A and B are shown apart, each in its own frame.
Chain A
Amino acid sequence: MTSAAQSAARANPILRLGKSVQGALFRYAGLRGYILFSPTLLVLVGAMCIPVGMLVIYSFWTQKYIEIDTTLTLANYLQIFNKTSYMLLIGKSILISTAVTTATVVLAYPIAYFIAFRVHQHKIVWLILITVPFWTSYLLRVFSWKVILGYNGVINSALKWLGIVDQPLAFLLHNPTAVIITLAHAWAPIAILPIFVSLEKIDRSLLEAATDLGDGPVARFLRVTLPLSIPGVVAASMLVFIPTVGDYITPQLVGGPDGLMVGNLMHAMFFKANNWPLGSALAILSAAAITVTSLAIWFLTKHARERAK
């Protein structure tokens, strides 16, 4: 830069400001971090904090026919606590999601293990193959289970054709088990990836060291591989558990009357019953239940890790 241009830059206040902002960005890594973070922060505040805040406020209001009474009250919460069927539904949703989480993690672990330890080339191909179900819509995947488990579905037709049963089995669809199978299948890829990452990170010489110190394959797995992959298992559990509690599409399509979950009730409150305040209170309570259960999973695994030593 020539000295003339330099003095022009010094004289121009906008250019000077630009220079000092540039300087500050160069000097302070924290500031750069906040700027990188700011788009996400805006979305979070706009699309999450505000709606959740509104949900909280709504839950303390009440629906009076078509109008909303904005007096702050705990009436919705009391109504839910007093209505055993609501509480049972929340409890059942937690149980179903726990079963889904357990099934998903138990099924995902061997696949993740296989890719991490047995596949030596083209791991990425395997990982992409695992995400293939995600390429189709969630709704289609749920429907496909309806086709598989239905009264005239794939399994029943096959059993009839083979002569194993005379009448189609009715217990395959429209019950909590169908919900668990469908959700476990839908969320499997989400569970495989974090477990794979935690297994992949394990230093192979640790496994050799365990063998060297006398462990057979089973002892080595239980004492080294499993404890070191627990972070991945916890992450997978959370990723599957939290969203499945509130799911209402799968229970609606394959759950039948017994397989309904709290998401269906919330859906009904916000739409058919047009009772937003009660729906909000349900949402807040199930979020609280999810938080408590997640913390319980976290503490239990931590405790188990301490004991496994």
Chain B
Amino acid sequence: MSNKPDFVSIGDVSKHFGSVRAVDGVSLDIAQGEFFALLGPSGCGKTTLLRILGGFEAPNSGNVHIDGADMTLQPPNRRPVNMVFQNYAIFPHLNVRENIGYGLRKEGLSKQQIAERVDEALATVKLEGLGGRGATEVSGGQRQRVALARALVKHPKVLLLDEPLSALDKNLREQMRVELRALQQQVGITFIFVTHDQEEALSMADRIAVMFDGKVRQVDTPEHLYETPRSKDVAAFIGSMNFIDATVEGADGDALIVDAGPVGRIRAGLPADGAPAAGTTVIVGIRPEKLILADSPPGEGANSIRARLTAASYLGERSHYFLQVDGLAEPLSIARQNTQAQLLHEADAGSELWLTWSPASGIVLPAAG
């Protein structure tokens, strides 16, 4: 099986609801066998885009191709695509087996073949022995497995999942992330899922498309998305980030020298597309966990600034601290694993500390957006 890079191809798709542009000129290519996430805040159009792929909405313009065939105007029952609905949409009048076998009636299989396929699907989602249960007699996690099996039993070319884990409680959700990923690797089907939970997207997907206001802002692997976001919006949505306004002064080897006002002259990572011209206004983004607290100034090469602790919050395995740099509008947030012996507390507020970070931790982002 050669993995076609444009197995699912979305070409300049737009969908309006009245005056609302739910999906606004989105183009995406998703490869065969890829685990792809559509990530964004609620109302960003990700679910509408998924429903367009499933055939539940027709785009106002643009087209959708799946495995080379134009699917733009095909109804859901004529697409080689199946969906796992957010509330799982398990048929309440049918038992687990009947739910899973629902879509096989039309495929011209014998009763024997249907039973075999259902058994196979039950085994795939680890529900052996529960086939006779009524749809209302299984737990939330099991319902999700039924929904998965019901879609997978059809051997779709693409499986769509709408917020697949949002209806589960926290522990089950974390377990299902691992299982869903393993399941996708096992069956090798292209999975496209929608989520507003960035951790979910980062932990499961091969690639993530981040959407805001109906537009795709960045498509990247989880690591690239986190380490090298290309805009302030994306950087702020994926994890959290400190933003410092700065003006470019020039490049120095693999670092960019910027004047960051109250923070002084600092060194930041050189953007992949080269150094911006001197005098350009930029934003330097630094992840909270990449800022290091120290009692004394660091050695050469690292950036550092003196700051005053304003707040501390203890979160178990890590703590969040907020440090004010004189002249900055917002305090900087610092995340630190609680492995060090010394914890800072609310009572330590006001104490002066050094903040240091390596130049590569400073991500240079365009000032607009």
Contact = CB atoms under 8 A, between A and B. Distances in A.
Contact of B76 (A203, A212, A223): A212
B237 interface: no
A210 B92 CA distance: 12
B50 to A, nearest CB: 12
Contacts of A212: 54-56, 76-77, 81-83, 103, 151
Interface stretch (A93-101, A213-221, A247-255): A213-221
Interface residues of A, number: 19
B111 interface: no
A227 B93 contact: yes
A213 B102 contact: yes
A224 B87 CA distance: 17
A214 B91 CA distance: 15
B154 interface: yes
Contact of B87 (A203, A214, A216): A203
Given A215-B77, A216-B77, A309-B98, A209 B106 contact: no
A22 interface: no
B4 to A, nearest CB: 23
Given A309-B94, A309-B98, A211 B89 contact: no
Given A206-B91, A224-B91, A211 B85 contact: no
A203 to B, nearest CB: 7
Contacts of A219: 106
**Most chain A beta-carbon contacts within 10 A, residue among B77, B85, B107:** B77
Contacts of A209: 83, 85, 89, 91, 150
Interface string B68-93: 00000001110001110111010111
A227 B91 CA distance: 10
Contact of A210 (B56, B87, B102): B102
Given A211-B77, A309-B98, A205 B85 contact: yes
Contacts of A16: none
B77 A208 contact: no
Interface string A143-170: 0000000000000000000000000000
Nearest to A215: B77
A305 interface: yes
**Most chain B beta-carbon contacts within 10 A, residue among A206, A212, A216:** A212
B92 to A, nearest CB: 7
Nearest to A208: B56
Contacts of B77: 211-216
Contacts of A208: 56, 76, 83, 85, 89
Given A211-B56, A212-B54, A212-B103, 15 more contacts: A203-B89, A208-B56, A209-B89, A209-B150, A210-B91, A212-B76, A212-B77, A212-B82, A213-B103, A214-B77, A214-B105, A215-B77, A216-B77, A224-B91, A305-B93
18 contacts: A203-B87, A203-B89, A205-B85, A206-B91, A208-B89, A209-B91, A211-B76, A212-B54, A212-B81, A212-B82, A212-B151, A213-B102, A213-B103, A213-B151, A214-B103, A215-B106, A219-B106, A305-B93
Which 10 A-B pairs have CB atoms at the shortest separation, nearest pair first? Answer: A213-B103, A209-B89, A205-B89, A214-B106, A211-B76, A212-B76, A212-B83, A214-B77, A205-B85, A227-B93
